[in-house]
Amino acid sequence: MLGRLGLRLAVAGITWTLLAPRSFVLRGSRAQTRRHTARMAEFGGGESGPRMAKDAAYAEAVQAAWQADPALKGAGPFSVEPLLYQDEAGRARLHGRVVRARSGSNGAGVVVIHTAVGPRDLYLHWRAEVLAAQGYTVLIADLLGDEPEAKPEWNSRARQPLDDRALSRKRMRASVEALAATPGVDHKRIAAMGYCFGGRTVLDLARLGSSAGIVAAVSFHGILDDGVIASEDMSSPDAPRVLICHGDADPFISAASRAACEAQLRGANARWDMLVLGGVRHGFTNPAQALNPNPSFGYCPRAAAVSWRAAEELLAEMLKP
C-alpha cells in the first residue's frame, strides 16, 4: 500500500501525487536494492519525507535508468549532506543537498536547478550522482524554500519564484554562493544547469554576465524568452558560456520566444550554443516522461544522450583547473 501524503500538484500539464520515498518499489538484485534504498534514504528523509516522484510508476522508471546507468558502474559511494542556506534577501530558508564522491572531488562545483516540481525530484539526484562520479561537488539547489516537513499549503505559498523572475534569480545567486562557500569548492570553477523552470533560471543568471558567479550555464528543455529582466554585457571572459538544449517540438516554446532568446544572447554578445533536437518534445531527458499521457511531453533517449554529452564537454572545458 502506497504511503501517499495526499497532496496533488498540477505542474506543466501533469498532476503530481506526492509520495513518501520509502513507498517506492525497487527492482534489481538484492545488493542493488539495498544500495539504492540507502541512497534514497540519504536524499529523501523519512516516512513523511519530501516530494520525490509523481507516483510509483514514475519512481520506478527513474530508478531503473539510474541503476542501469553505465556512468555509475563502479562509481561511488557518494555522500549526501543537507545544506541549509538563505536567499539573498534573508527572507527564506532554502534546503539544498550537496552530493559528492566520498573518494574526493576535483574542486569544481555544479549547481543543479529543479523543474517546477521542486528540488526533491528523484531524477535530479540521479544526475547529481553522475556529475559527482566525474569529480564535481554538486549542489541540488532549492529555489522554492522546500521545507522538509511542509504541510499541504506549501504548494501555493512556495511557488512564488516560478512567476517572480527577480526573486528566482536572487535565489539562484544565493545557491551559487552557498556552493562556493562549501569546503573543497573553488569559487572560480562553478557551473549551473537546470531543467524546464530551472533552465530558464540558469539563463537568467547567465544574463548577469561577469557577476553571475558561474563559468558555464546549461539549460535542458528550459523556458526560452528574451529574459524579461534587462541583460548585462555577456562578452566578458568572466561571463559564463551558455549551452541551450532544446527540442524543436516543445509546444511550450513558440518560434517567437526562441527567436527572442537568440536575439537577446546576440545583443548581449554572449558566448552561446544552442543544440536543437528535431522532433523532440518537452522533458526529453527524463525516462519517466515516457509514461506521461500529455502529448506535449516525451522522453527521447537519443536526445537525452546527445545533450548530456554536449553538457559534459562544456563542463570539462570550463571547469578545468
- 82-140 pLDDT, tens digit each: 999 998 767 778 999 999 999 999 999 999 999 988 898 999 999 999 999 999 999 99
Q: At 147, is the pLDDT very low, low, confident or very high (cuts 50, 70, 90)?
A: confident
pLDDT at 158: 66
The CB-based long-range contact list for 253-259 (8 Å cut-off, 24+ gap) reads 253/223, 253/224, 257/223, 257/224, 257/225, 258/224
User: Which DSSP string corresponds to 256-314?
Assistant: HHHHHHHHHHHHTT--EEEEEETT--BTTT-GGGGG---TTB---HHHHHHHHHHHHHH
Q: DSSP letter at 149?
A: T
Q: Nearest CA to 168 among 137, 191, 199?
A: 199
Instruction: Sort 61 into a burial class: Cβ within 10 Å, 0-12 / 13-18 / 19+.
Output: buried
Q: Is the pLDDT of residue 276 over 70?
A: yes
Give the chain's largest Cα–Cα span.
Answer: 56
Q: Is the pLDDT of residue 22 over 70?
A: no
Q: Is the pLDDT of residue 208 over 80?
A: yes
More confident residue, 154 or 260: 260
Q: At 157, is the pLDDT very low, low, confident or very high (cuts 50, 70, 90)?
A: low
Q: At 162, is the pLDDT very low, low, confident or very high (cuts 50, 70, 90)?
A: confident
What does the mean pLDDT of the chain come to?
Answer: 84
Q: At 153, is the pLDDT very low, low, confident or very high (cuts 50, 70, 90)?
A: low
Q: Is the pLDDT of residue 33 over 50?
A: no
Percentage with pLDDT > 90 across the chain: 69
Q: Is the pLDDT of residue 47 over 70?
A: no
More confident residue, 71 or 37: 71
**pLDDT tens for residues 56-87?**
999 999 999 999 999 999 998 999 999 999 98
